[in-house]
Amino acid sequence: MAGVEVRGLCKAYGPVKALDDVSLVFEDGEFFALLGPSGSGKTTLLRAVAGFASLDAGEIMVGGEPIHNLPAHRRDLGMVFQNFALFPHMTVFENVAFGLSVRGEPSDEIARRVAAILELVRLSGMTERRPRQLSGGQQQRVALARALVTRPRVLLLDEPLGALDRRLRQQMQIELRQIQREVGITAIFVTHDQEEALTLSDRIALINDGKLVQVGTPHEVYERPATVFAAGFLGDANLFNGQVAGPGRITGKGFGALGTEGHLPAQGATAIVAVRPEKIELVPPNTPVDAGVNRIPGTVKQVVYSGNSVTYIVATEGRDLTVFAQNRAAEVNDPGTAVVAVFSPRHSVVVQP
């Protein structure tokens, strides 16, 4: 097992910069998600580590050793693809054993290691089945077993759950994380699914237009987004554009004064504050609230009932606010109801454009 470090990675396809001076450290044994929209550069980064994409500049280190000049088959990395890439004419045993056979391992050693890895992924009784006889989740486990049986130093996963339906994908998220922890391997995981990244990862790198936008734990990246893009891509956010009126306060059209505990620029400068929809509470007008709490009056414009939660669109002066509420109340605020949106300054995050 080993950690991975990439330094100054650059890759261009004509005028498009797929990777623009990207540097990252993937710690030994952590599950690290590369998150971003389509075309952001996350898959190019993974393929560069795997050896499937050449670089214009930069270095890749695994366990402190440079590998960027090595061909893919000599990098000692395991890869799981979105479409599983199983051999349809081979049995489960033969698929998993393929990498060991290519390496010339003795047959008894192959049998022992394949049996051990199939037990780990709970497929011990399916050695003679072919891929078409397996469910999507079982095929995914075979692909994972094939990647792990050679004991790679790092596991690379290119949207491996994208071909599964939602329910199965959620189940496989739990199983994948459990297997990764049992093996203790460093895993680098590409996804465009925000919920998946939050659920699986020790840390997340948010990538856009070939650049790193933010790196941190799921809690850090979600609760304290660094930019407007980060706030909007990883979840939903209400944005307030205004001018700095003093320490911890901005003013703007439609919301008057807004308090924040975030770091603001100098007085008079423009600033943007993001507030997550679930951090806002709707209360009736004239409801007493603690001093310093932000208050914005409005009217319920739209209600989306989702069973365990309710989403409100609230019309205020100059903007609509999105508010998420857990379905705890006996009644739902109907459209046309006058309300006040209240939220704490600590949930008002200053973000960069």
pLDDT in tens, the chain (353 residues): 689 999 999 999 999 999 999 999 999 999 999 999 999 999 999 999 999 999 999 999 999 999 999 999 999 999 998 888 899 999 999 999 999 999 999 999 999 999 999 999 989 989 999 999 998 889 989 999 999 999 999 999 998 887 777 888 888 888 889 999 999 999 999 998 898 999 999 999 999 999 999 999 999 999 999 999 999 999 899 999 999 999 999 999 888 899 999 999 999 999 999 999 999 999 999 898 888 899 999 999 999 988 888 999 999 987 899 999 988 776 788 999 999 999 999 999 999 98
Asked if 269 and 244 touch (Cβ cutoff 8 Å), the reply is: yes
Q: Domain 242-351 classified CATH 2.40.50.100?
A: yes
The pLDDT, as a whole number, for residue 175 is 87
Asked if 300 and 339 touch (Cβ cutoff 8 Å), the reply is: yes
Asked if 351 and 227 touch (Cβ cutoff 8 Å), the reply is: yes
Of 185, 169, 91, 98, the C-alpha closest to 134 is 91
Q: Tokens 């050695």 label which residue?
A: 127
Phi, psi at 144, each rounded to 5°: -65, -40
CB atoms within 10 A of CB 87: 12
Contacts of 123 (CB under 8 A, 6+ apart): 92, 138, 141, 142, 145
Tokens (6 digits) for 208: 């856009």
Query: Is the alpha carbon torsion for 70, 71, 74, 79 positive or negative?
Result: positive
Asked if 160 and 148 touch (Cβ cutoff 8 Å), the reply is: no
Q: Per the confidence metrics, is the pTM higher than 0.85?
A: yes
The two beta strands, 57-62 and 4-13, are: antiparallel
The pLDDT, as a whole number, for residue 171 is 84
d(CA 221, CA 204): 7
The two beta strands, 249-252 and 16-26, are: unpaired
- In the chain, alpha helices (H): 42-50, 92-102, 107-120, 136-148, 166-183, 194-200, 218-223, 228-233
The pLDDT, as a whole number, for residue 1 is 64
Asked if 227 and 352 touch (Cβ cutoff 8 Å), the reply is: yes
Asked if 98 and 114 touch (Cβ cutoff 8 Å), the reply is: no
Conformation bin of residue 129: beta by default, left when phi > 0, alpha when psi is -120 to 50: beta
Tokens (6 digits) for 320: 């609509």
Conformation bin of residue 349: beta by default, left when phi > 0, alpha when psi is -120 to 50: beta
The full set of domain ranges for the chain reads: 4-230, 242-351
SS3 of residue 258 by DSSP? strand
Tokens (6 digits) for 106: 């003795």
The pLDDT, as a whole number, for residue 332 is 80
CA distances from 75 to 30, 129, 222 (A): 19, 31, 34
Compute and round to an integer the Cα radius of gyration of the chain.
25
The CATH class of 4-230 is alpha beta
